[in-house]
């Protein structure tokens, strides 16, 4: 690792106080580039960098690497390691509407679940909880009984280590409480597998795939979509989802616009007229 890169890692760890995961991501991205070209990043020209980054065909992955490089270059400029400010352009990614499913679809598919067993009760509660809370799957699986405070969920293990409070619908709370009451063992965590150990992300994925045909993250999108479609303020949705930036939440406004367009096309008397 070059001296400049070592100084950058220390800066984001101590001065910026980024999370361990963020520091590790920056470290991994930048060290990989230095090792690939066997040269300190500070001595690489743009042609060399793009040559090294060319192995990443996924544009989102490429942009993450570019973000790490730009953060490092910005640090070098401010630390006077560079005479001029360098910023690499990001790759353009087409905007795609997030996939979501309606509550009616969820309700209909929940009827498939046999709740005569503890596993069935768990699967039913898990799906309702994900849709009612809008939590990331990592936040959901980290749930403990102490995180439920009345009709509120205290999200303690959030992305970026930012805690938040989210109200939970009574039907989801009832399903969760029924599942907890039927568990034979007392564990620190709520969601358990059939052996009594902590439920994994893969197992949670298999559950939502089995009954809904989607990943757990689609339920988070569905939660946000239902709120926006119902008229919720964008900043409120941002807070509920735990987004650091409003720009991340704004993708759901496209869904709202499409909803409005379809309403006009169906209901307005001029929509079906032709000149």
Residue 152 parent element (H or E): strand 152-155
* CA dihedral sign, ordered 219, 222, 224, 227: negative
Strand partners, 31: none
Q: Which of 39, 164, 198, 217 is catalytic?
A: 217
Please indicate whether residue 11 is annotated as part of the active site: no
Please indicate whether residue 159 is annotated as part of the active site: yes
CA dist list (Å): 172 to 14, 86, 126, 187: 41, 50, 9, 21
Q: Which of 27, 65, 122, 136 is catalytic?
A: 136
- CA 190 from chain centre, in angstroms, equals 21
Task: Give dist(CA 110, CA 223) in Å, integer.
Answer: 16
Please indicate whether residue 136 is annotated as part of the active site: yes
Cα Rg for the chain, rounded, in angstroms?
Answer: 23
Please indicate whether residue 243 is annotated as part of the active site: yes
Instruction: Identify the DSSP state of 12.
Output: I
CB pairs under 8 A, 24+ apart, for 76-79? 76/4, 76/8, 76/42, 79/4, 79/7
Given a contact cutoff of 8 angstroms between Cβ atoms, the answer to whether 216 and 151 are in contact is: no
Please indicate whether residue 217 is annotated as part of the active site: yes
Q: Which of 211, 220, 221, 223 is catalytic?
A: 220
Task: Give dist(CA 61, CA 135) in Å, integer.
Answer: 23
Please indicate whether residue 221 is annotated as part of the active site: no
Q: Which of 131, 211, 223, 252 is catalytic?
A: 252
Q: Which of 156, 159, 183, 254 is catalytic?
A: 159
Task: Give dist(CA 139, CA 166) in Å, integer.
Answer: 12
**Active-site residue set:** 136, 159, 217, 220, 243, 252
């Amino acid at each position: 690792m070059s001296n400049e890169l070592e100084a950058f890692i220390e800066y984001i760890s101590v001065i910026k106080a980024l999370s361990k995961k963020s520091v590790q991501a920056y470290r991994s991205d930048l060290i990989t580039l230095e090792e690939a070209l066997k040269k300190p990043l500070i001595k690489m020209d743009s042609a060399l960098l793009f040559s090294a980054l060319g192995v990443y065909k996924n544009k989102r992955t490429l942009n993450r690497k570019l973000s790490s490089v730009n953060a490092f270059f910005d640090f070098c400029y401010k630390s006077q390691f560079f005479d001029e400010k360098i910023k690499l352009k990001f790759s353009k990614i087409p905007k795609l509407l997030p996939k979501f499913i309606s509550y009616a679809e969820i309700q209909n598919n929940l009827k498939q679940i046999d709740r005569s067993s503890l596993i069935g009760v768990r699967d039913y509660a898990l799906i309702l909880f994900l849709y009612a809370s809008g939590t990331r799957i990592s936040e959901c699986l980290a749930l403990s009984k102490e995180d439920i405070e009345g009709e509120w969920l205290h999200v303690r293990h959030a992305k970026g280590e930012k805690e938040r409070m989210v109200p939970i619908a009574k039907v989801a709370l009832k399903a969760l409480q029924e599942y907890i009451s039927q568990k034979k063992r007392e564990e620190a965590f709520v969601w358990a597998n059939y052996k009594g150990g902590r439920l994994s992300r893969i197992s949670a994925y298999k559950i939502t795939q089995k009954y809904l045909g989607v990943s757990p993250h689609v339920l988070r999108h569905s939660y946000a979509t239902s709120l926006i479609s119902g008229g919720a303020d964008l900043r409120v949705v941002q807070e509920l989802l735990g987004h650091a930036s409003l720009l991340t939440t704004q993708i759901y406004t496209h869904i709202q616009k499409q909803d409005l367009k379809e309403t006009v096309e169906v209901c307005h008397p001029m929509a079906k007229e032709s000149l």
